[in-house]
Amino acid sequence: MATFLYRLGRFSFRKRHFVALFWVALLALAGAGAAGAPAAGNSSFSIPGTEAQKAFDLLDERFPGASADGATARVVFKAPDGQKMTDPGNKAAVQDTVDELSGGTEVAQVTDPYQGGGVSQDGTTAYASVTYKVPGMELEESSREALKAAAEDARDSGLTVEIGGDALQAIPETGSAEIIGIGIAAVVLVITLGSLLAAGLPLLTAIVGVGIGVATITALASTLDLGSTTSILASMIGLAVGIDYALFVVSRYRAELAEGREREEAAGRAVGTAGSAVVFAGLTVVIALVGLSVVNIPMLTKMGIAAAGTVAVAVLIALTLIPAVLGYAGRRVRPAGEKSKLLGGGRAKDKADKPNMGTRWASFVVRRPLAVLLLGIVGLGAAAVPAGSLELGLPDDGSQPTSTTQRRAYDLLSDGFGPGFNGPLVVVVDAQGSDDPQAVFQQAGDEIKALDNVVNVAPAAPNKAGDTATIAVIPDAKPSSVATEDLVHDIRAVGADIKDGTGAEVLVTGATAMNIDVSQKLNDALVPYLVLVVGLAFLLLIVVFRSILVPLKAALGFLLSVLAALGAVVAVYQWGWLSGLMGVEETGPIMSMMPIFMVGVVFGLAMDYEVFLVTRIREAHVHGEKPSQAVVTGFRYSARVVTAAAVIMIAVFSGFIGSSDSMVKMIGFGLAIAVLFDAFVVRMAIVPAVLALLGAKAWWLPKWLDRALPNVDVEGESLAAHDGAAGKDDEDKELVRA
C-alpha cells in the first residue's frame, strides 16, 4: 500500500492542475445539486420491529385520512388572574381563534376545547388541537405564520397564549460558536506548523471536503429522506477528521523536507507513510459509522452513512488534494523546525538538540509506567462513575429552553391538566378477529382504568368498519418518567391477557411509547454493535500493527474513554453540573441515541490517534530500536502533531455545543470530552505506559498468523528502495545539466 500511495502522492504533486480542477469541479457539481434541491426536513422517524411502530402503521391502514403522520399543534390558552376560560369574553376569543385556524389549506382538523374536553378542571386553562395534512418539516411557511398570527390575535384579547407540538419545529442552527471552533483550530495549526500558509492548507482542504459532503447530502436530502441534523453531524465529523488527516500529511511532508528530500519526493513519501495511517484511521471511522445500521433505526443508519461518506471524502482529499496544493505552495511551506519570517523565522536556533516536550513526556512515562498507568485508569474510572446513573429518553417540548413558546405551552398544560397530559398514550385495539369488537373495546378500557398511574382513559373511538378503536390514556407522571414507562409495560401486559382470551390485539403507541421502544431497541443493539465494530476494527489493527496485544490494548483503552465521556455527559445534562456554562437550561434523561452514537464515532476517532501514534512507534521498532526507545522516538515525531490534532478536534466539536438543537448540542459536548479523555489520557499516557511494560512482547504475533496476514506496509519499509532510485535520478539530472 505504501508504494501505491507514494506514487499517488507524487502524481498529485506533479499533476496538481488536474487534481485541483477535479476537486473544484466536484465541489461545483455538488453545490449546483444542493442549490436546486428542496430544503431538508426532519427524517421520517420509523422504528421497524417495535410495537409502537406496528400500532402506528395499523392506524394508517384502519383510519385512512386521519393524517397520523401529520404535524400537530396545541394552542394553549390561560385566562388572566381572577378569570375563567369559560367567561363569555374569553370563550369568544378562543372560538375566533379556532375559526381562524380552521381556514388553513393544510389544516386537517381543529378541535374546539369546549366541545372536546379541552378545559382544565379549575377553568383557568384550555387548549385547541390542530392537526395538519403534512409532517411538521413539510409545512408551508404560510401555515406556520397563520398559526402564530392566530395566537397573537388571541393575546390581544388579554389571554396568555402559547403553542406546543411539532408544527413550529425549526431547522436547527449551530450558532457562532462553530466559527470560534474553526478559529481555534486555525491558531493551533499556525503554532504547530510554524507558517500561516502551511496552517491554511488543512483548513482549506477540510472545508472543500465538508463542502462536497454537505452539499451532496443536501442535494439528496429529499430523495433519501435525510433529516436536517444529518448534514450538521456530517459537517461536525467531516471537518474534524478533515483537518486532522491533512495536518498529519502536511506535518510528515515538512519532516521529509527536513531530511533533505526534494519536494515531489517528500510529497510522495508523506502520502506513502502518513497517508497509509490516514487510510486505516479513516477505515476505522467508516466501519464505526456504517456499523450503526445494525441498530435498524433508519434515521440513525442514514446519519451514520452520510457521515461516513464525508469521512471517505476527507481521506481522499488528504491523499490527493493536499500534495497538489503543496505543489502550488512550493518553497513557502518550510521544512520541519523552520518558521516563516512572519513568525520569527530566520533567527539563529538555540539549543537545537534540546529534547522536545513529546520526548520528555515519553521518557518520564517509560521510567514510571506503572504509576502513570494506574493514575490514568483511576482518573477515567472516577469520571465514569456518573454513567452508572444513566437514564435514556428522547427530547420533547419539556427539554426545550424556557424562552421558547413550545416549552411555555408544555408548562401550562402540565400545570392545568397534570404532568402526564404532555405525553398521552394511544392504545390501539385491533378486534378484527373478535366476535364482539365493542365488548373487547369496553374490556380494554376498563382494565386500563384499573391500573396504577392512570389519570384518565377516554372512551374507545372505533373506525368506520367498527373493527379497530383507539383509546387515549393520560398517565399520572411526565412523559420521561420511570412511572410512565412502567405504565406502558403494564398496558402491554393487559393486552397480552386480552389477546389470550379474545384474540384481539392491543398495541400501545404515541410519542411517549415510541420513545420507550426506541430506548429499549438501542439498549438491545449496543452489545451486538460493540462486538461488530470493535471486532472488525480489531482485525484491521492486527493487520496494521502485526500484533495481538496492541489492538487489544487499543480497544480496552477506548472502552475506558467512552465510559468516562458518558459519565461526563450524565453529570452535565442529567445531573446539571456546570449546566450554566454549557448552556443547559433543562436537565433530564440523556438522548437515547447518544450512547450508541458516541460509541461509534468515538471508537473511530480513538483509533485515529492510535494508528497515528503507534505506527510511528512501530516504525522506530521495525528499524531496530529497542521497545522503550521506540516509544520515545515515536513521541518525539508524533506527540506534537497528535496533540494539535486532538485540540483541533475538541475545538471543532465544542463549537456545536452552541447549536439550537438539543441532540446536536449534547453530541458536540460528548464527542469533545471523549476526545479529550482518549487523546490525552488513554493515547498519550496509558498507551506508552502499557507499551513500556510489555516491551518486545507488545509486538508478538503467532508465526502462522504472521504468514497469513497481508503486508500492508503502513510504516513505508518498501519506500527504502525509492531512495536509491531517487539518488540515481538526481545523478542523471546532474549529467544532463553538465
Using a 10 angstrom Cβ sphere, with 0-12 exposed, 13-18 middle and 19 or more buried, the burial of residue 637 is buried
CB-based contacts of 734: which residues, under 8 Å, 6+ apart?
none
Q: How far is CA 631 from the centre of its chain?
A: 33
Phi, psi of 426 (to 5 degrees): -110, 115
> Residue 333: its pLDDT value, please?
82
pLDDT confidence tier of residue 39, bands split at 50, 70 and 90? low
pLDDT at 358 over 70: yes
Give the integer Cα–Cα distance in Å for 519 and 537.
Answer: 26
pTM: 0.78
Please give the distance of CA 523 from its chain centroid, rounded to a whole number: 17
More confident residue, 725 or 717: 717
- For helices 594-622 and 511-545, give the axis angle rounded to 10 degrees: 10
What is the largest distance, in Å, between two alpha-carbon atoms of the chain?
106
Average pLDDT over residues 152-179: 77
Picking from 610, 614, 611, the residue whose alpha carbon sits closest to that of residue 561 is 610
C-alpha distances in Å from residue 649, one per residue of 195, 229, 247, 250, 688:
20, 19, 12, 17, 22
Where is mean pLDDT largest: 5-19, 287-301, 624-638?
5-19
Q: What does the pLDDT average to over 244-257?
A: 88
Q: Which three cell numbers stand for residue 643?
A: 496533540
**What value does the mean pLDDT take over residues 573-582?**
81
Q: How does residue 46 score in pLDDT terms, banded at 50, 70 and 90?
A: low
pLDDT at 531: 84
pLDDT tens readout for residues 477-488: 888 788 888 999
CA 373 – CA 363 distance, rounded (Å)? 14
Which helix (DSSP H) or strand (DSSP E) does residue 471 occupy?
Answer: strand 468-475
Which grid cell is 112?
A: 374546539
For residue 698, the surrounding DSSP H or E stretch is: none
Residue 407 contacts residue 400 (beta carbons within 8 Å): yes
Q: Using 50, 70 and 90 to split pLDDT, how confident is the model at 56?
A: confident
pLDDT reported for residue 736: 38
Which of 492-501, 547-556, 584-593, 634-643 bottoms out in mean pLDDT, i.e. has the lowest?
Answer: 584-593
Judged by DSSP in three states, 320 sits in: helix
Per DSSP bridges, beta strands 590-591 and 392-393 are parallel
pLDDT for position 588? 74
pLDDT digits (tens, 9 = 90+) for 597-608: 788 778 777 777
What pLDDT score does 728 carry? 45
Residue 344, number of CB atoms within 10 A of its CB: 9
Tens of pLDDT, residue by residue over 397-431, are: 777 777 788 889 989 999 998 888 888 899 999 98
489, amino acid identity = H
645-664: pLDDT as tens digits: 888 888 888 877 777 667 77
What digits encode the pLDDT tens for the residues 183-216? 888 888 888 777 778 788 888 888 899 899 888 8
In this predicted structure, what is the pLDDT of residue 735? 32
C-alpha distances in Å from residue 587, one per residue of 407, 448, 567, 572: 13, 31, 15, 8
How much of the chain exceeds pLDDT 90, in percent?
A: 25
Helix, strand, coil % (nearest 5) of the chain?
70, 5, 25
Distance CA 326, CA 349 (A): 26
Report CA-CA distances (Å) from 656 to 7, 174, 184, 228, 247: 38, 6, 13, 15, 22
- The strand ranges marked E within 107-219 are 107-110, 125-132, 160-165
Average pLDDT value for residue range 31-38: 81
CA distance 190 to 726: 32
- Placement of cell 513505508 in the chain: 716
Q: Residues 6 or more apart from 88 whose CB is under 8 A from it?
A: none
* pLDDT in the model for residue 225: 67
Quote the CA–CA distance of 257 and 333 in Å, as a whole number. Answer: 9
- Which pLDDT score, from 0 to 100, does residue 684 have? 92
pLDDT at 436 over 70: yes
Backbone angles phi, psi at 316, to 5 degrees: -65, -35
674 DSSP assignment: H
- 39-43, 233-237, 582-586: which is most confident: 233-237
Residue with cell 499556525: 190
The CA dihedral of 201, 205, 208, 210, to the nearest 10 degrees, is -120
Closest by Cα among 451, 468, 450, 471 to 460: 471
Q: Which pLDDT value is given to residue 350?
A: 47
Provide the mean pLDDT of the chain: 83
Q: At what angle do helices 228-258 and 177-193 cross, to 10 degrees?
A: 10
At residue 353, the pLDDT reads 56
Q: Residue 460: how many CA atoms within 13 Å on its side-chain side? A: 26
Cα gap 213→310, rounded to integer Å: 5
Read off the pLDDT of each residue in 702-720 and give the average, rounded to a whole number. Answer: 75
The C-alpha atoms of residue 144 and residue 132 are separated, in whole angstroms, by 11
d(CA 372, CA 377): 9
DSSP string, 551-599: HHHHHHHHHHHHHHHHHHHIIIIIS-TTTTTTT--S--PEETTHHHHHH
| Adjacent-strand bridge partners of 468 | 430
Three-class secondary structure of residue 50 per DSSP: coil
Secondary element (H or E) of residue 507 = strand 505-509
- Which of 129, 135, 141 lies closest to 71, judged by CA? 135
User: What is d(CA 101, CA 161) in angstroms, rounded to the nearest whole number?
Assistant: 14
**Residue 58 CB contacts under 8 Å (≥ 6 apart), including other chains:** 428, 430, 468, 507
For residue 69, which phi and psi values (nearest 5 degrees)? -100, 10
Instruction: Provide CB contacts within 8 A for 588, sequence distance 6+.
Output: 393, 395, 398, 399, 480, 573, 574
What confidence tens digit (pLDDT) does each residue in 607-618 have? Answer: 778 888 888 888
Confidence of residue 448 (pLDDT cuts 50, 70, 90): very high
C-beta of residue 389 within 8 angstroms of C-beta of residue 577:
no
CB 275 within 8 A of CB 17: no
Question: In angstroms, rounded to a whole number, what is the distance separating the alpha carbons of residues 417 and 135?
Answer: 26
Query: Would you say residue 589 has pLDDT above 60?
Result: yes
pLDDT of residue 176: 55
Residue 738 has pLDDT above 50, yes or no: no
- pLDDT > 70 fraction of the chain, expressed in percent and rounded: 89
Torsion of CA 385, 387, 388, 394, to 10 degrees: 160
Beta-carbon contacts of residue 85 (< 8 Å; ≥ 6 apart):
77, 78, 79, 91, 94, 113, 119, 120, 123, 124, 125, 126
Residue 380's pLDDT is 94
Q: CA nearest 35: which of 173, 211, 212, 218?
A: 218
pLDDT digits (tens, 9 = 90+) for 677-705: 999 999 999 999 999 999 889 888 888 88
- In the chain, count of helices (H) and strands (E)? 23, 11
- Whether 595 shows a pLDDT value over 80: the answer reads yes
Q: Where does the pLDDT of residue 140 fall: very low under 50, low under 70, confident under 90, or very high at 90 and above?
A: confident
Asked if residue 730 has pLDDT above 70, the reply is no
Q: At what angle do helices 2-14 and 263-290 cross, to 10 degrees?
A: 120
Q: For residue 516, what is the DSSP state?
A: H
- 8 A C-beta contact, residue 653 and residue 568: no
Tell me the backbone φ, ψ of residue 45, rounded to 5 degrees.
-95, 85
